[in-house]
């Protein structure tokens, strides 16, 4: 068997109950203990008001069957109108899709949301708090007032979107950086028109993989690690899961790193500035 011990979850993924069942089964079967696992979840956009933050966290904890989270992230720097759990969960991007397919923003200062996040740490519900999809100015803002500093920045990083300056800035603040979509595979974003994108098929990656005798995925994940990032690939295939973990028996040379650096296209696949106008008739740039 094979598997991961860092589980990256979120309310918006709509599968935390199933993830919780898997965690419980692994612990019950003696595969691991709770202490062996690092479980992340994320505060969704509709729960940014301080009065909803703890309830949202507790809902994720209940669904996951956990007493605490190792890491709780604010999913996006986007505050949307509150949708009660009994109306729809997860609520998605629009308050009432039967009435309108447009988003409705909520005027919640991020400082208020962050203070509520800090209280989750104080109460022992979460061990660490951090940010997802945040830009450099957003980091400067939060670090100016945070009592408990964000410990992790999770952003899209792959050879076609290398985010070098943002990574280096986050590291300078003492943050760990986690790369989502680290393989640069557009299949997860096919509905947004990115289905044909694959960094794994790029000649640069293919040539390095052939020379080192490893897979293209291993090259890209090792590249991410050598840049000081944690990488969270996803796969349903046992063989690929094992392969994605087996990254410590080889390394990339400086020439390899330089060649991959030349692949950067600033190609962002998970971009509210693109998909919100297209899907929800709402302008919502965060990476302008």
Among 196, 255, 241, 251, smallest CA distance to 219 is for 251
Sheet strands side by side (includes 38-43): 6-8, 38-43, 71-74, 129-132, 152-156, 176-180, 229-231
Residues 247, 226: Cα–Cα separation, whole Å: 10
Cα-atom radius of gyration of the chain, to the nearest Å?
A: 19
Note whether 248 and 257 are within 8 A (CB).
Answer: no
List of residues 6+ apart from 214 with CB closer than 8 A:
222, 250
Picking from 180, 206, 228, the residue whose alpha carbon sits closest to that of residue 73 is 180
The single residue of 13, 68, 89, 169 carrying the catalytic annotation is 13
For residues 180 and 8, the answer to whether their CB atoms sit within 8 Å is yes
Q: Are 136 and 70 in contact (CB under 8 A)?
A: no
| DSSP three-state, residue 132 | strand
Active site residue 189: no
Owner of token pair 């400082």: 111
Find where tokens 């109950």 sit: 17
Catalytic residues: 13
């Amino acid at each position: 068997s094979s598997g991961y011990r860092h589980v990256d979850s979120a309310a918006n993924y709509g599968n935390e109950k199933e993830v919780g069942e898997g965690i419980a089964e692994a612990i019950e079967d003696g595969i691991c203990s709770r202490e062996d696992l690092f479980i992340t979840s994320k505060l969704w956009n509709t729960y940014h008001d301080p009065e909803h933050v703890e309830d949202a966290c507790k809902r994720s904890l209940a669904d996951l069957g956990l007493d605490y989270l190792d890491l709780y992230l604010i999913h996006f720097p986007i505050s949307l109108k509150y949708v009660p759990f009994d109306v729809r969960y997860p609520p998605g991007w629009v308050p009432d899709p039967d009435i309108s397919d447009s988003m409705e923003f909520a005027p919640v200062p991020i400082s208020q949301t962050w203070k509520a996040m800090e209280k989750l740490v104080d109460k022992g519900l979460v061990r660490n708090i951090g940010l997802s999809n945040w830009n450099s100015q957003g980091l400067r803002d939060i670090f100016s007032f945070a009592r408990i500093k964000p410990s992790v920045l999770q952003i899209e990083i792959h050879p076609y979107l290398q985010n070098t300056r943002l990574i280096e800035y986050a590291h300078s603040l003492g943050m760990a950086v986690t790369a989502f979509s680290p393989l640069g595979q557009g299949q997860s974003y096919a509905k947004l028109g990115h289905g044909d994108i694959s960094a794994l098929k790029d000649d640069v990656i293919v040539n390095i993989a052939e020379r080192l005798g490893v897979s293209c995925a291993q090259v890209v994940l090792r590249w991410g690690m050598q840049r000081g990032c944690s990488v969270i690939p996803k796969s349903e295939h046992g063989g690929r899961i094992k392969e994605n973990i087996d990254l410590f028996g080889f390394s990339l040379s400086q020439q390899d790193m330089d060649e991959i650096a030349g692949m950067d296209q600033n190609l962002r696949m998970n971009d509210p500035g693109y998909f919100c106008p297209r899907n929800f008739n709402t302008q919502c740039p965060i990476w302008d």
